Structure 1
Amino acid sequence: MKHIIAILFSFLTITVHAQRISKPAMDTLNTLQDTLRELSYNIIHGKEETVRERTNDEFIPKLVKALKTKHSYYYPFDSIATMAKVYPADSSFRILTWPLEKDNSTFRHYGVIQMNTKDGSLKIFPLFDNSDFSKNTDTVTNHKGWFGCLYYAMIQRRYFNAEYYTLFGWDANSQTSQKKVMEMLTFKNGEPVFGGPYFSFAEDTVRRPTRNRFIIEYKRDAVAALNFNAEMDMVVFDHLISETGEEHKKYTYVPDLDFEGFKWKAGKWVHVEKVFHDALQLGKEPIVAPIDRKRVDMKRPRTAEDIMAEEAEKAAQKGKRKKKD
């Protein structure tokens, strides 16, 4: 509940402060957003990789130009559906990310951290996707060595007067598998630091080394959850197994109806080996059955909870139509 209240307060704060944007600046931002929306559509839907890359090269300077507008932090860019936006509870910054698909069905990600400056001036950290150039995922990096992904959620924790921002990201990855990422973002001397020894397995039956980043990889057509459950006050994710018994082949991994988790303890996320099924609220369980590939929105990653809510809404609307008939 505290987490939900913090998010609502954050968005209310952003809405109120959006009034800081002057009318000329708002007109400029609206015009630039129209251009960015058209470009972003072609980044996703361009038929050839060269077209998508060229469009992305046009998109980046246009976005920077928009961000240079005073107090642009409070402009939501809500009509750019292909660009994910996440905010911490304290509204001290936001992260904008978007994907670029290559012809071989792999993805490169782009993004920027925009700081919320008091005078509304521009302070950003461009994110450079280094995941294609490094096989080691258990790293601690700055914004130039970013593990590229599309962020869909962020939660904030405070420990010993320091702020810790946990990020949840999605990477469509390849033709055969996809990934979800959980990592910590901190700031050291005003600079962003991704990763760190915050994922502990000390309470497991068989102890494993602490990780700097937590990643699950699974079959491309499967649906696996990795997100924070506010009611349980913990991160819950699907336990994965190989459907073919080939544990070294991550593209064969699917959920098996068991759930694991992480609890925040003394400045670390401590692994919980088993989250009992009956501990999950009705309607909150991650979806196990694969979803039709055509229904997967590559622009907007959704949690299992999102998908189930949409299905429930569709069922309700269908019921209303039957009553009218």
Structure 2
Amino acid sequence: MRLLFFAAILLFTHFSFGKKKEIEFTFEQKVDSLVVLADSLLNSPTILGKIHSNENYKRILESILKDSLSIFYDFSRVPNLSVVTENRNHFRIYTWTVRVGNSEFDYFGFTQFQRKRQKGLFGPTIIENYIHELHNKSAKIGDDELKTLDASNWWGCVYYELVSSPKKKDKSYLIIGWDGFGYRSTKKIIETLKFNNKGVPTFGHKILRYDNNHGTKSPPKFVIKSRIIFEFSGKVTMSCSFNPQLNMVVFDHLAPSNPSLARLKFTYAPDFTYDGLTYSKKTWIYKRDLDVRNLEDVKATKWKPKDTKNRTIDTLIPMRN
């Protein structure tokens, strides 16, 4: 019995290694092309050069994603591509930036959703692989935190974290992203996401119970939102990430450098206190002034461009010049 057990382990290991090599070989040449194009998306001397490179980049990436095996591929060597994956590999979201000015960026992306179904009672299992291109319309959408959006009308950013609902039956998700909004300010967004059975994504589901008075000393004024948009000084960083120890999304509390500047978002910066979102009954509920005495818990939520372990390297989230 013990010999059979070890034989099974060896067979599974051999199969897994072989499958990994097959996946790598299938996409290697195309991914090499993405690596070459990635540099020009940020550093080409002309806008036309960046546009041309980006069209080729999109075409090659989409051709890779149309192969159902690509959902298992490790894209970490593509320097400007951020990939967030659902924990059971049901879907992925791919996003990247194109530099359009010294401190301005445009955003592009694809969603990849897979569903398995059996053909007939005893037939083979078929993998349905759905790909949708994301079109950035954030200039038109503005800071609308209530509107429902879709792939053709997307609040563009680079997503760096996906948060699944603690309840398996709840198929809604939070996705956290970065937007290098302009020279003076940066934005982060907590977006809400769902897919239908055909892999069509929709953004902006009213599952966020947020305090509209969060930046003041006034009593809480709770409203239901579809997304939360933070804007703050481009000279500082803001932490915003799911903390597994606290089982919450934890983020820096932002405040203006002077109370008289409250309307100027580019004056906002972390004030060394923390707020968060906790899950209850299919809703993420805002919690003000978290009592986070163990600083290691908070440090675990810190996200920085140089954090290569968590797939956020310098060229993924470009640093300002």
TM-score band w.r.t. shorter chain: 0.7 to 0.9
SS at match of 1:197: coil
Check whether the contact 1:29–1:66 (CA below 8 A) recurs between aligned residues. Answer: yes
1:267 aligns with 2:267: no
What is the count of residue pairs matched by the alignment?
Answer: 280
Q: Is the deviation greater in 197-206 or in 79-88?
A: 197-206
**CA distance in 2: counterparts of 1:64 and 1:278, whole angstroms:** 46
SS at match of 1:35: helix
**CA distance in 2: counterparts of 1:129 and 1:201, whole angstroms:** 25
Aligned residue for 2:83? 85
Aligned residue for 1:150? 158
Question: Taking structure 1 as reference, are residues 274 and 125 closer, same or farther at Cα in structure 2, changes over 3 Å only?
Answer: same
Aligned residue for 1:219? 233
Check whether the contact 1:224–1:286 (CA below 8 A) recurs between aligned residues. Answer: no
- Code of the residue aligned with 1:299 in structure 2: it is T
SS at match of 1:125: strand
1:34 to 24, 32, 35: 32
Question: Cα deviations across residues 1-49 of structure 1 (Å, max 9, x unaligned)?
Answer: xxxxxxxxxxxxxxx87855784x7434100010111001111222222
TM-score (norm 1): 0.78
SS at match of 1:144: coil
**CA distance in 1: counterparts of 2:68 and 2:205, whole angstroms:** 33
**CA distance in 2: counterparts of 1:96 and 1:282, whole angstroms:** 28
1:1-325 matched pairs, under 5 angstroms: 20=19, 23=22, 26-103=24-101, 105-118=103-116, 119=126, 122-138=129-145, 139-159=147-167, 161-190=169-198, 191-201=200-210, 205-245=219-259, 246-281=261-296, 284=299, 299-301=315-317
**CA distance in 2: counterparts of 1:29 and 1:207, whole angstroms:** 51
Question: Taking structure 1 as reference, are residues 121 and 199 closer, same or farther at Cα in structure 2, changes over 3 Å only?
Answer: closer
Check whether the contact 1:68–1:121 (CA below 8 A) recurs between aligned residues. Answer: no
Question: Cα deviations across residues 260-280 of structure 1 (Å, max 9, x unaligned)?
Answer: 111111111100011124254
Question: Cα deviations across residues 57-115 of structure 1 (Å, max 9, x unaligned)?
Answer: 11111111222335222122221021001011121011110011212632211000112
**CA distance in 1: counterparts of 2:313 and 2:184, whole angstroms:** 16
Identical columns (%) = 24
- Code of the residue aligned with 2:248 in structure 1: it is M
Aligned residue for 2:4? none
SS at match of 2:152: helix
SS at match of 2:231: strand
TM-score (norm 2): 0.78
Question: Cα deviations across residues 121-142 of structure 1 (Å, max 9, x unaligned)?
Answer: 6420111111022224222111
Check whether the contact 2:242–2:301 (CA below 8 A) recurs between aligned residues. Answer: no
Question: Taking structure 1 as reference, are residues 284 and 272 closer, same or farther at Cα in structure 2, changes over 3 Å only?
Answer: same
Q: CA RMSD in A?
A: 2.9
**CA distance in 2: counterparts of 1:223 and 1:22, whole angstroms:** 39
Question: Taking structure 1 as reference, are residues 247 and 276 closer, same or farther at Cα in structure 2, changes over 3 Å only?
Answer: same
Q: Is the deviation greater in 201-210 or in 180-189?
A: 201-210
- Code of the residue aligned with 1:88 in structure 2: it is E
Gap runs ≥5 in structure 2: 1-14, 117-125, 307-311
Aligned residue for 2:11? none
